[in-house]
Amino acid sequence: MSSYFTDLAQQYIDGEWRPGTGSWDIIDFNPYDGEKLASITIATVDEVDEAYRAAERAQKQWGETNAYARRAVFEKALAVIDAREEEITDVIIAELGGTRLKAAFELHLVREFLRESVQLALRPEGKIIPSPVDGKENRLYRVPVGVVGVISPFNFPFLLSVKSVAPALALGNGVVLKPHQNTPIVGGSLVAKIFEEAGLPGGLLNVVITDIAEIGDAFIEHPVPKVISFTGSDKVGRHVATVCAANFKRSVLELGGNSALVVLDDADVDYAVDAAVFSRFVHQGQVCMAANRVLVDRSIQAEFTEKFVAKVGTLKTGDPRDPQTVIGPVINSSQADALSGVVEQAIAEGATALLHGSVRENLVEPSVLTGVPADSELLRQEVFGPVVFLVPFDGEEEAVRIVNDTPYGLSGAVHTADIERGVNFAKQIDTGMFHVNDGTVHDEPLVPFGGEKHSGIGRLNGETTVDSFTTTKWISVQHGRSRFPF
């Protein structure tokens, strides 16, 4: 594993591994024990430019390459991951503080999206459109946008990098990837290494490890990329969208969430408890789709609360290398401090802590809070960690109002014995995704993924990925002679 943090602690530009030329280093730490994993000299504005120019040069030939030939790269990438599964698992655990369960979950989804990319290369289809003009043939072509810039987050960096990088490449584009500073290996150079070993031509995928303190808006302002795919907070997403719009480029934004899991009066309580615990506490709650709020009909509130608190109390917090650990460290001390602040603020506002987890460095034990005032901003914001709010309600109408009372609209779930009741409930929620009798955390390669309101703009996966990373080109052919008015 250590070789990953030495060999891959570099920039990857134009098919070459090389150090950055910035004046300072990004230090990559293990969030569990504070071990220094790597020191990476950052990329400068000049290197961002070199990366984009390399992608632009390489893309010309790649975009003209037979789609069947492009598929082979993704098939080989799958083989590389299969051969390195144990090593990659260890790297995810070390750099993210992810548990073994989380690493397996992320690797499974990465494979699914790579398999879809094999097929995606063949997905774009042209059309012949009828014309009101005699003898005119209208051809509509699907063509690559050219170069895509990808900015990935720290929570599922391997998946959320591959999820944009692989489809963009499969559809004939070049890519420049900027991973989060806390996960430069798993979210950046590991992806480059896998594609390098899979035979991707040099220059098509570039990775720049840097910080906005060094490059400012250069990554998104650069004239080469036509699309920026960003996954992260709504605050940063708003800025990305603004800069992209000012520079006439498209943005695909997968942003934060404040999902609710709703338990109606006829739900299977034990099953709903299992779904709610997973939905809130998977990867320490550092998931945009996580259930920040668990809404329970007052008629079953007592039973649900007792069983929910009991199950949460069994979750082991500790060393993510231990297979028994369910909750590992949050990504850094700032995140741990912020979560402590959320719990203290809730209690100060009058909430009751049914579980009040301790905080030891980056290890944050679960907290379960009830009685948070209805007008508290805590119920409307994203909480990125193992803190959950239990909220009672009286009837579906009130539940719908509470669920929608947030600027976010990413995911959610409802539990009920009546499936159509659940579907009707889901239709009333302002979200991009909603699940009946399941958890809130789902992602599938063929199903459009994205949110409403502050949770993002655009969709990824399946056909929506084709829409995001290609553009349409109209070429008309006039058979015979046109008539012109002068």
Angle, CA of 297, 298 and 304, to the nearest 5°: 75
Nearest to residue 193, comparing CAs of 3, 53, 21? Answer: 3
Structure tokens at 63: 């975009």
- CA distances (Å), 238 to each of 147, 243, 244, in order? 22, 9, 10
Residue type at position 356? H
Burial class (CB in 10 A: 0-12, 13-18, 19+), 299: middle
The pair of structure tokens assigned to 199 is: 């035979």
- What is the rounded end-to-end Cα distance, in angstroms, of the chain? 73
**Residue 341 burial by Cβ neighbours in a 10 Å radius (0-12, 13-18, 19+):** exposed
Q: 460, exposed or middle or buried, with CB in 10 Å at 0-12, 13-18, 19+? A: buried
> Which amino acids are annotated catalytic?
254, 288
Instruction: Count other Cβ atoms within 10 Å, centred on residue 320.
Output: 28
